[in-house]
Structure 1
Amino acid sequence: MDRHGALLNKMPLVSAVFRKARGNKVPDFGKWKSSFIDVPKQAGPNDCMFFAWKYMEFWDGERLHCELNPGKMYRLEMFHYIVFHALNQAELPEELDIYRIGGMKIQFDQSQ
């Protein structure tokens, strides 16, 4: 709490600025309940964004729905997801197919 207390105290002001800039079309998050939770810490020095992404994927607002591995390189998981996603229409070299988890590329018809 000590580290984030100053920011928490400014949230009503930040919320008011966002609301004014957007013509009151955003919720007043300055009144939202704040809770401080103990979160897992990443082990690697360069994966903070990917670790945060995995945390947000499994956090429901109350609890974490899976155990995160602080030593796992989640960037590789994200890379695989982006490169081999069915909607990725980039022409990939056939040599990459051996790294595809779950089978061959699915053809996507944009007219659907």
Structure 2
Amino acid sequence: MPIINAAFQKVTKNKFPEFDNWSMVFIDAPKQAGPSDCMFFLWKYMEFWDGDCLNIDINPFKGMIYKAELMHYLMFHPINQADLPDELDLYRLGGRKIGLDGSQ
């Protein structure tokens, strides 16, 4: 920490608060089972961490399910402006997309 703190002080010309003497909290985080699931575990952890504890049990063997959840969220999110083929509506949870004018 002292080395990282010194680097931040040098780069920011001492405008960044010194943090080398801050206490560090170590949290027992769930470990992934798959070799490339770390981003999805991080996403789940950030989604359900309330600052004191994790509000769900993250299953290390559900990496593929977490990937599918994130893909669905990104693809079908209301602010996604990509033109998706109508055939993908089959996979949309909650039914077909309804346009702002009420059309389907």
Tell whether the structures are fold-level matches, with TM greater than 0.5. Answer: yes
In structure 1, runs of 5+ residues without a counterpart are 1-10
Query: What does residue range 1-112 of structure 1 map to in structure 2 within 5 Å?
Result: 11-72=1-62, 73=64, 74-105=66-97, 107=99
Taking the aligned partners of 1:68 and 1:101, their CA distance within structure 2 comes to 22
In structure 2, runs of 5+ residues without a counterpart are none
Assess if the C-alpha contact under 8 Å between 1:18 and 1:26 holds in 2: yes
CA gap 1:97/1:22 in 2 versus in 1, 3 angstroms: farther
Taking the aligned partners of 1:83 and 1:107, their CA distance within structure 2 comes to 16
Length-normalised TM-score, structure 1? 0.71
Number of residues of Structure 1 aligned to a counterpart in Structure 2:
98
Assess if the C-alpha contact under 8 Å between 1:82 and 1:88 holds in 2: yes
Taking the aligned partners of 1:59 and 1:15, their CA distance within structure 2 comes to 26
Taking the aligned partners of 1:88 and 1:64, their CA distance within structure 2 comes to 29
Identity %: 59
CA gap 1:80/1:12 in 2 versus in 1, 3 angstroms: same
Say what the alpha-carbon RMSD is for the aligned residues.
2.2
Amino acid at match of 1:90: A
Taking the aligned partners of 1:39 and 1:93, their CA distance within structure 2 comes to 39
